[in-house]
Amino acid sequence: MKAWVAKMTEEHLDEDAIRRAGEILKDGGLVAFPTETVYGLGGNALDAEASRKIYAAKGRPSDNPLIVHIARMEDLEIVARNIPDNARKLAQECWPGPLTMILEKTEVVPLATTGGLNTVAVRFPRNRIAQALIQSAGDFVAAPSANTSGRPSPTTAAHVIEDLGDRIDCILDGGMVEIGLESTIVDFTEKTPMILRPGYLNRERLEQILGTVKVDPGILAEEPAVRPKAPGMRYKHYAPKADLTIVEGPEEKVVQKIRELAEEQIARGLTVGIICTDETRRKYSAGDVKSIGARSEEASIARHLYGILREFDGDHVDVIYSEAFDTPKMGQAIMNRLLKAAGHKLIEA
């Protein structure tokens, strides 16, 4: 089976393709679609069999729960119950948008969708293609990222085709995504809301709305004393084929250190990739050098991260050195993904 691909933009939806894709989902099939964060692999969230198909297509462990996507505020009540007031408040402020909330689930959500948990992850995405598809599919679409398990999340339809093109029914191609990192996950099942996965909405922003917000201690260290609460954060994720090391410190020193390391490896006969920024691009002479975007424009760094990791897989380099990207707003989210991809190999220059 080869997936059929329908191209469209948020401004000009292909209504006919969305109707057909909605039918596929209602019939238990799988459709990949763009959201503002990354591409999702959708199945009917209320159909246990469809959820099993998602796990199989991705090669994802079945104890790693899926996010249920909705396209109307009031649909939250159908999949979640005992919703605390602060969760409602956050939804009012941040939905539609890159926010996922963990809440107690209702009976309509099968355990196959929640990885056996009594809680459910819910998101109302802002992307209009995603919203139209969810509505045409009957309002509840389970969707993890549309990549093969262990590969970087897809930020273009081409990435989805590369990983899943012959395992799913249809792909809605809405061009490159806007944000490029997965949604912020906030857990509301305990007293104080807790960030289980950092994303575009950072702790400062959440605290403006909610007051005190904790960060899951399990996501901060390489081998934390506590296990991350989100099952997906426990797996080794986003790992490029090459051995990736991050170098942090003042810009001049970082550039010098990466240049030295690259030269050493090249002298040993290895091929080297370098992830830098527009600001430092011309300071590197050896190796396969790729700029991730402008440091002065952190959104461009987030958007290009996964694409660059995929490019290096295609280039078959042996080692990659990356500058660190502790940018002001999304730095936590970017470094969380990059550190995981690097297996936490970080050098101080």
Crossing angle for the helix pair 128-136 and 15-26, to the nearest 10 degrees: 50
Which token pair is 199?
């994303």
CA–CA distance, 328 with 223 (Å, rounded to integer): 25
CA–CA distance, 236 with 125 (Å, rounded to integer): 26
Indicate the residue type of 80: A
Using CB under 5 A as the criterion, what x/- string covers residues 141-160 for binding Mg ion? ----x---------------
Using CB under 6 A as the criterion, what x/- string covers residues 283-322 for binding ligand AMP? ----------------------------------------
Q: Would the annotation count 72 as a binding residue? A: no
Do residues 174 and 10 touch, judged by C-beta distance below 8 A? yes
Q: Is 185 one of the binding residues for ligand AMP (CB under 6 A)?
A: yes
Identify the helix (H) or strand (E) that includes residue 320.
Answer: strand 319-323
Task: Count the residues of the shown chain that bind ligand AMP, applying the rule CB under 6 A.
Answer: 20
Q: Is 232 one of the binding residues for ligand AMP (CB under 6 A)?
A: yes
- Near ligand AMP by CB under 6 A, which window of 62-70, 74-82, 288-296, 331-339? 62-70
Q: Is 239 one of the binding residues for ligand AMP (CB under 6 A)?
A: no
The residue among 145 and 156 lying less far from Mg ion, judged by its C-beta, is: 145
- Near ligand AMP by CB under 6 A, which window of 11-19, 224-232, 267-275, 307-315? 224-232
**Which residues, at least 6 apart from 309, have a Cβ–Cβ distance to it below 8 Å?**
152, 238, 240, 341
The residue among 240 and 287 lying less far from Mg ion, judged by its C-beta, is: 240
Is the dihedral angle over the CA atoms 13, 73, 94, 121 positive or is it negative?
negative
Q: Looking at the DSSP assignment, which residues form a beta bridge with residue 247?
A: 323, 347
Which token pair is 224?
């934390």
Using CB under 6 A as the criterion, what x/- string covers residues 244-283 for binding ligand AMP? ----------------------------------------
Crossing angle for the helix pair 298-315 and 331-341, to the nearest 10 degrees: 10
- Near Mg ion by CB under 5 A, which window of 47-55, 125-133, 137-145, 338-346? 137-145
- Tell me the residue number closest to Mg ion, measured at CB: 145
Q: Would the annotation count 51 as a binding residue? A: no
Out of 29, 98, 144, 307, the residue judged to bind ligand AMP by CB under 6 A: 144
Tell me whether strands 319-323 and 243-248 are parallel, antiparallel or unpaired: parallel
Which token pair is 322?
């990356």
Q: Is 184 one of the binding residues for Mg ion (CB under 5 A)?
A: no
Out of 139, 169, 173, 182, the residue judged to bind ligand AMP by CB under 6 A: 182
Annotated binding-site members for ATP = 60, 64, 119, 145, 153, 197, 238
